[in-house]
């Protein structure tokens, strides 16, 4: 028996009803904020993520699906979308045409992580990137957009954490001070943190290991290293969020797992999903354009983990949702009615109704049972009498009410129901 690849899953039935609703919200709210959809290929050159996300991050170091294709090119199934969007913006000189370019996207991503609830090897993100503005208004716009999407999709309980990483060179100075401090305490750190100390020391601050907490809590604070411009920027972002009534807490230890950030970083979290508590992550990434080889440009964005949002909706829902059901099920009574019923179904579909017919040549009783199973709103039956008089017997499956009407009145009857 061949099964799905570990960490990947099939999606179908009722779960997809939630996805479709969420996708509608992505489309609508993005447009309300003036963001345009962008689609990039699922495969990119491995080099893009090495340079953009950073060689020493978990994503690039341990989690990418990378391979050499038949032409000898090193390719990777995209593990995130920000580097591809910036690659595309450089390639198509988007900022030359529009000095502030607002982009949204949704699609599958791949990371070879250890699968657990809310963590998959193929997962999906909705995200938005605001390219071209260095000002706090754009950080705030992005956070307000993420907040609005989560609210409108129907997530009820979540909180927002905010931090600033300051200017890129501040981080370099701070990193040196942090490494010095952590090296003094190396023997007390968890194995994971010792490894990170060598590769990506700022991530030690993120550690969830109990053993690391006292050391991390007493570590030098990045906030003591910020210059005046960084502080002003962060205050500007906070002032807009305050005015907009968006609650948040400042978490001085949040550094995020990707190398391209500077200044504002943020995460939306939930307490309803166990350890996979981040439903959205983002921040400002002014260094990224230059890392990928473009002209310097400021930018800020976020990505929401759709799979996690779907789990949340399911957990918060009282009653299960049902999958889609047809407006009408057309029953053919006898061989002669089969083709006319197919044609009638086609006519109704062209008018925008969902119409289903029997494909197993069932008895009348069997067809009514099938209509019931599919939760059809109406059935319309056609036998010899109805064929002769161009009528149908229309039945409202909820009330049981039944009447004979001309076939030409069907659309009207379905619309007024």
> Among 96-104, 121-129, 130-138, 200-208, which window interacts with ligand HAM (CB under 6 A)?
121-129
DSSP state of 163: E
Indicate whether 280 belongs to the interface with ligand HAM (CB under 6 A): yes
Strands 328-332 and 378-382, how do they pair?
parallel
- Please say whether the beta carbons of 62 and 49 come within 8 A: no
Let me know: does 266 contact 151? Beta carbons within 8 Å.
no
Q: Which residues contact 154 (CB under 8 A, 6 or more apart)?
A: 313, 316
* Number of C-beta neighbours around residue 35 at 10 A: 22
The window from 10-18, 119-127, 147-155, 239-247 that contacts ligand HAM (CB under 6 A) reads 119-127
- Residue 140 interacting with ligand HAM (CB under 6 A): no
Say how far apart CA 97 and CA 275 lie, in whole Å: 43
The DSSP output letter for 252 is: T
As measured in angstroms, the least distance from the Cβ of 300 to ligand HAM is: 7
Considering only residues 173 through 202, tell me which ones interact with ligand HAM, judged by CB under 6 A: none
Please select the residue that binds ligand HAM; options are 54, 136, 301, 326, rule is CB under 6 A: 301
Q: Which residues contact 124 (CB under 8 A, 6 or more apart)?
A: 106, 107, 108, 109, 305, 306, 307
Please say whether the beta carbons of 166 and 222 come within 8 A.
yes
Q: Which of these segments, 93-101, 295-303, 330-338, 394-402, binds ligand HAM (CB under 6 A)? A: 295-303
Stretch that binds ligand HAM, among 15-23, 133-141, 282-290, 403-411 (CB under 6 A): 282-290
Regarding 113 and contact with ligand HAM (CB under 6 A), the answer is: yes
Piece of the chain touching ligand HAM by CB under 6 A; list 30-38, 112-120, 160-168, 222-230: 112-120
Could you tell me the two tokens for 179? Answer: 């490494």
To ligand HAM, the closest distance from the beta carbon of 385 in angstroms equals 57
Return the residues of window 216-255 that contact ligand HAM according to CB under 6 A. none
Provide the token pair at 284: 């400002």
Task: Specify the residue, 206 or 411, whose C-beta has the smaller distance to ligand HAM.
Answer: 206
Q: Are 84 and 78 in contact (CB under 8 A)?
A: yes
Among 29, 146, 197, 279, binds ligand HAM (CB under 6 A): 279
How far apart CA 310 and CA 123 sit, in angstroms, is 11
Q: Given the complex with ligand HAM, which of 123 and 353 has the nearer CB atom?
A: 123
281 vs 326, which CB is nearer to ligand HAM? 281
CB atoms < 10 A from the CB of 76, how many?
Answer: 20
Which secondary-structure segment (H or E) carries 91? helix 82-91
Residue count at the site for ligand HAM (CB under 6 A)?
A: 27
Among 285, 289, 329, 378, binds ligand HAM (CB under 6 A): 285
Among 281, 287, 298, 326, binds ligand HAM (CB under 6 A): 281
Question: Using CB under 6 A as the criterion, which residues of the chain lie in contact with ligand HAM when the complex forms?
Answer: 80-82, 111, 113, 118-120, 123, 125, 127, 129, 257-258, 278-283, 285, 301-303, 305, 307-308
């Amino acid at each position: 028996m061949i099964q799905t690849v570990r960490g990947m899953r099939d999606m179908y039935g009722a779960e997809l009803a939630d996805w479709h609703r969420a996708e509608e919200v992505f489309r609508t709210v993005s447009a309300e904020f003036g963001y345009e959809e962008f689609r990039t290929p699922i495969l990119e050159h491995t080099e893009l993520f090495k340079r953009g996300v950073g060689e020493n991050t978990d994503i690039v170091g341990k989690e990418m699906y990378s391979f050499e294709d038949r032409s000898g090119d090193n390719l990777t199934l995209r593990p995130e979308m920000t580097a591809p969007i910036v690659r595309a913006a450089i390639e198509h000189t988007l900022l030359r045409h529009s000095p502030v370019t607002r982009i949204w996207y949704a699609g599958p991503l791949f990371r070879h992580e250890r699968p657990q609830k809310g963590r998959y090897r193929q997962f999906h993100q909705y995200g938005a990137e605001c390219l071209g503005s260095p000002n706090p208004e754009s950080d705030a716009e992005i956070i307000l957009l993420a907040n609005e999407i989560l609210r409108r999709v129907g997530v009820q309980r979540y909180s927002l954490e905010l931090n600033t990483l300051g200017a890129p060179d501040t981080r370099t100075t701070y990193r040196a001070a942090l490494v010095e401090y952590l090296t003094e305490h190396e023997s007390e750190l968890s194995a994971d943190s010792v490894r990170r100390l060598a590769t990506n020391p700022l991530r030690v601050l993120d550690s969830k290991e109990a053993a690391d907490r006292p050391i991390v809590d007493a570590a030098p604070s990045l906030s003591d290293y910020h210059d005046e411009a960084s502080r002003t920027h962060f205050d500007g972002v906070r002032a807009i969020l305050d005015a907009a009534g968006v609650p948040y807490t400042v978490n001085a230890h949040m550094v995020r797992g990707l190398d391209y950030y500077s200044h504002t970083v943020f995460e939306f979290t939930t307490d309803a999903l166990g350890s996979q508590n981040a439903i959205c992550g983002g921040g400002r990434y002014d260094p990224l354009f230059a890392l990928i080889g473009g002209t310097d440009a400021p930018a800020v964005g976020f990505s929401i983990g759709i799979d996690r949002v779907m789990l949340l909706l399911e957990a918060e829902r009282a009653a299960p949702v049902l999958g889609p059901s047809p407006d009408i099920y057309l029953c053919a009574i006898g061989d002669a009615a089969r083709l006319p019923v197919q044609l009638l179904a086609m006519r109704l579909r062209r008018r925008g109704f969902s119409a289903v017919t029997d494909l197993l040549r069932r008895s009348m009783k069997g067809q009514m049972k099938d209509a019931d199973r599919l939760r059809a709103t109406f059935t319309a039956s056609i036998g010899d009498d109805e064929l002769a008089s161009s009528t149908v017997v229309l039945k409202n499956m909820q009330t049981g009410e039944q009447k004979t009407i001309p076939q030409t009145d069907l659309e009207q009857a379905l619309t007024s129901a």
